[in-house]
Amino acid sequence: MAADIPEIREIQEGQITTVVAEDLEIKGSIRFKSSVMLKGVFEGEIFSEGLLVVGPTARVTASINTKTLISHGSITGNVVAGEQIVLKSSATHNGDLNTPFVMIENGAVFNGSCVMERRQQPFMSEPPAETTAYAEAEPAAAEEGSESTYGGENEEYES
């Protein structure tokens, strides 16, 4: 499983598509697909399909939904990251984290809860046909105390 862990590498400011300067204060919502580094003050919502870097001088109060977050600064708010969250040693985070992979460096401050769910298979609203057929044919094979994969609206079936 170690091969599935995303590589955490240092990001240089020159590699970032957009840098929001230290002297800027922004309130509202931002949405982006590539990479943004915040160095100033931001309050609101952040939606990203890429990389969000919170610089050491940044103060962010926001709900954040991103692919990857690397924080060197201060964040107050909940973060959902589809790939990973990295709290560097200078980071302060007050809020919850939800991501499959998290790294908190020694010295970082984290006050909140953390949920790390890793899906082995893509989400399916219904079990595959062979799973349902197996559950119908051998309902006693399920372990005691576990939920059955069969059920729902059409509980009647022919044996």
Please choose, from the candidates 92, 96, 65, the residue with its C-alpha nearest in 3D space to the C-alpha of residue 81.
65
Residues 105-126 have pLDDT tens digits of 999 999 999 999 887 544 343 4
Tokens representing 26?
A: 């922004």
Please choose, from the candidates 30, 56, 57, the residue with its C-alpha nearest in 3D space to the C-alpha of residue 43.
30
Amino acid identity of residue 17, one-letter, is: T
CA 112, 117, 118, 123 dihedral sign is negative
What stretch of H or E contains 129?
Answer: helix 129-137
Residues 21-31 have pLDDT tens digits of 899 999 999 99
Q: What is the mean pLDDT of residues 40-59?
A: 96
Tokens representing 93?
A: 């985070």
What is the residue-wise DSSP string for 50-119? SEEEE-TT-EEEEEEEEEEEEESSEEES-EEEEEEEEE-TT-EEES-EE-S-EEE-TT-EEES-EE----
**Whole-prediction pTM value?**
0.69
Averaged confidence pLDDT in the chain? 79
| pLDDT > 90 fraction of the chain, expressed in percent and rounded | 60
Q: What is the mean pLDDT of residues 76-100?
A: 97
Cα distance between residue 5 and residue 8, in whole Å? 9
